[in-house]
């Protein structure tokens, strides 16, 4: 069991909310954080900007409604001028318009379902993730790559459409149709056994209407990502095999997130994180093929997990590389944490049942099923982590659930 030591943190957290009209819950967040962190307050965007420019702020959480604008306006400014600051947005509801319009500007979205005790865990885990992504070995490895891939243009176009005042499903379908390759891949995903649909889907508009914007957005990003990389020809690690595994893990992760009762946004984050959990392998195959092949050989020779062999050979593992790349693309913390720690979820600063839980189990249970693992010692499931969440007794039922569930 993981032991945690209570200590006074030095990180500074700025709370930005209208003190008169705010929800009492954000006041509770502030009071709890004040016990462990240097907590600051502002009630407007202008006051927040002043504090940010004069103090070294580590995290900003704002409510949606401020005296001189919205929380999205504030976080857009911070994202464009102070990228190192962690950005949280609180809204009393999880209106999809708010979620879409804040995409790319915030690291974590929360609403009135996020209890104060959960909020503290989310804050600690956000600081822990920042430490993982700031790893010197990781930056040293990736600094030599001058042409790291950018987000697929079609994904950027979708995000722009969703941030419009009145996003259109037909416009979204038309954006997808412009790219024949992406369209083919998205329709292949929709009609695959992983999504278990009874009717055959023949065009993007039908797909969006049937599965919803969030799911299609995840599919478009996944399809675009796999189009960015070429197959290196390393035995057992083809682009197609990684792609098929990613679909299985993504759909399982979303099922599990639903089973855990996570909020709708987080179940969609679980789908996206599960489908992108192996993006670091794609980076390794493209930019470090020799070292990756050595890692595979070391893993097989010493019978250790591949991510441990990668750490020995390269200094970082593929999960950390994947999370770092997606952090440059502006994906939210819930997805980055799930990808960075899907092998080693016990490294979360304060484990809670969240997107990471769903993606770890989606990956680990799928790994055990595919490789016919029957010995606990060889399982990819982190039982110590599950014990902390009181889930260890449910592993067999969760495995059966993953094998039988369809979207």
pLDDT in tens, 164-214: 888 899 999 999 999 999 999 999 999 988 888 888 999 999 999 999 999
Question: Where is the domain boundary, 74, 99, 114?
Answer: 114
| Count of CB atoms situated within 10 Å of the CB of 114 | 19
Cα 49 to Cα 57, 73, 74: the distances in Å are: 11, 11, 8
Domain annotation covers residue 209:
yes
Domain annotation covers residue 317:
yes
d(CA 241, CA 51): 50
Retrieve residue 229's tokens. Answer: 């990389």
Q: Whole-model pTM?
A: 0.90
Output the CA angle 54-57-63, nearest 5 degrees: 110
Contact criterion met (CB below 8 Å) for 113 and 263 = yes
| DSSP-derived pairing of the beta strands 69-70 and 65-66 | antiparallel
pLDDT confidence bin for 60, thresholds 50/70/90: very high
Half-sphere exposure of 364 (CA within 13 A, CB side): 28
Whether residues 274 and 374 fall in one domain: yes
What is the maximum alpha-carbon separation in the chain?
A: 64
Domain annotation covers residue 123:
no
* Residue from 319, 332, 68, 141 nearest 218 by CA: 332
Q: What share of the chain is helix, strand, coil (3-state, %, to 5)?
A: 60, 5, 35
Domain annotation covers residue 102:
yes
Retrieve residue 35's tokens. Answer: 């016990």
Whether residues 300 and 168 fall in one domain: yes
| DSSP characters over 280-336 | HHHHHHHH-HHHHHHHHHHHHHHT--HHHHHHHHHSS-HHHHHHHHHHHTT--HHHH
Residue 88 has phi, psi (to 5 degrees) of -115, 145
Whether residues 20 and 160 fall in one domain: no
pLDDT tens profile 293-311: 999 999 999 999 999 999 9
Contact criterion met (CB below 8 Å) for 41 and 58 = no
Residue 62 has phi, psi (to 5 degrees) of -130, 155
Q: Mean pLDDT of all residues in the chain?
A: 90
| DSSP-derived pairing of the beta strands 59-63 and 86-90 | parallel
Whether residues 94 and 208 fall in one domain: no
Domain annotation covers residue 126:
no
Domain with 82 in it: what CATH number? 3.40.50.2300
How many structural domains are present in the chain?
2
pLDDT value at position 169? 93
Lowest mean pLDDT among 81-85, 196-200, 219-223, 276-280: 196-200
Whether residues 101 and 249 fall in one domain: no
Domain carrying residue 24: 12-114
Cα 58 to Cα 22, 42, 53, 84, 299: the distances in Å are: 22, 15, 12, 8, 38
Give the CA radius of gyration of the chain: 21
Whether residues 307 and 390 fall in one domain: yes
Residue 70: which residues within 8 A CB-CB, separation 6 or more?
A: 64
Predicted confidence (pLDDT) at residue 57 exceeds the cutoff of 80:
yes
Whether residues 85 and 148 fall in one domain: no
Domain annotation covers residue 175:
yes
pLDDT value at position 405? 60
pLDDT value at position 388? 95
Domain annotation covers residue 121:
no
Whether residues 48 and 169 fall in one domain: no
Whether residues 266 and 372 fall in one domain: yes
Domain annotation covers residue 365:
yes
Whether residues 233 and 289 fall in one domain: yes
Contact criterion met (CB below 8 Å) for 382 and 360 = yes
Predicted confidence (pLDDT) at residue 406 exceeds the cutoff of 70:
no
Whether residues 38 and 157 fall in one domain: no
Whether residues 199 and 162 fall in one domain: yes
d(CA 288, CA 16): 44
Cα 30 to Cα 19, 90, 252, 355: the distances in Å are: 11, 12, 36, 24
| Count of CB atoms situated within 10 Å of the CB of 54 | 8
Helix, coil or strand: residue 106: coil
Output the CA angle 256-328-262, nearest 5 degrees: 20
């Amino acid at each position: 069991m993981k032991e945690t030591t209570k200590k006074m943190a030095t990180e500074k957290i700025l709370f930005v909310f209208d003190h008169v009209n705010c929800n009492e819950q954000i006041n509770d967040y502030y009071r709890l954080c004040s016990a462990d962190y240097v907590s600051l307050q502002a009630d407007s965007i202008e006051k927040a900007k002043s504090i940010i420019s004069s103090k070294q702020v580590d995290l900003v959480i704002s409510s949606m409604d401020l005296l001189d604008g919205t929380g999205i306006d504030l976080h857009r400014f911070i994202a464009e001028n102070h990228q190192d600051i962690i950005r949280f947005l609180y809204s009393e509801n999880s209106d999809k318009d708010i979620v879409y319009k804040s995409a790319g500007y915030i690291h974590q979205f929360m609403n009135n379902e996020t209890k104060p005790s959960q909020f503290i865990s989310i804050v600690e885990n956000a600081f822990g993730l920042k430490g993982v992504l700031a790893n010197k070995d990781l930056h040293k490895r990736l600094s030599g790559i001058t042409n790291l891939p950018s987000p697929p243009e079609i994904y950027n176009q979708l995000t722009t459409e969703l941030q419009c005042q009145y996003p259109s499903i037909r416009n979204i379908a038309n954006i997808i149709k412009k790219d024949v390759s992406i369209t083919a891949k998205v329709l292949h995903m929709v009609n695959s056994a992983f999504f278990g649909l009874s009717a055959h889907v023949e065009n993007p508009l039908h797909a969006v209407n049937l599965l919803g914007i969030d799911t299609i957005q995840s599919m478009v990003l996944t399809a675009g990502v796999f189009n960015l990389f070429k197959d290196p020809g390393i035995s057992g690690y083809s682009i197609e095999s990684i792609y098929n595994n990613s679909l299985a893990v993504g759909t399982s992760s979303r099922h599990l997130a639903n089973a855990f009762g996570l909020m709708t946004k987080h179940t969609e984050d679980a789908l996206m994180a599960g489908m992108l959990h192996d993006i670091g392998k794609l980076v390794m195959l493209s930019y470090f093929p020799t070292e990756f092949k050595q890692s595979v050989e070391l893993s097989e020779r010493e019978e250790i997990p591949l991510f441990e062999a990668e750490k020995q050979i390269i200094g970082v593992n593929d999960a950390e590389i994947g999370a770092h790349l997606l952090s440059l693309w502006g994906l939210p913390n819930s997805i980055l944490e799930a990808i960075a720690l899907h092998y080693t979820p016990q490294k979360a600063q304060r484990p809670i049942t969240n997107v990471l839980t769903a993606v770890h189990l989606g990956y680990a249970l799928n790994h055990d099923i595919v490789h016919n693992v029957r010995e606990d010692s060889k399982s990819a499931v982190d039982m110590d982590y599950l014990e902390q969440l009181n889930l260890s007794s449910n592993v067999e039922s969760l495995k059966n659930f993953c094998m039988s569930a369809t979207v």
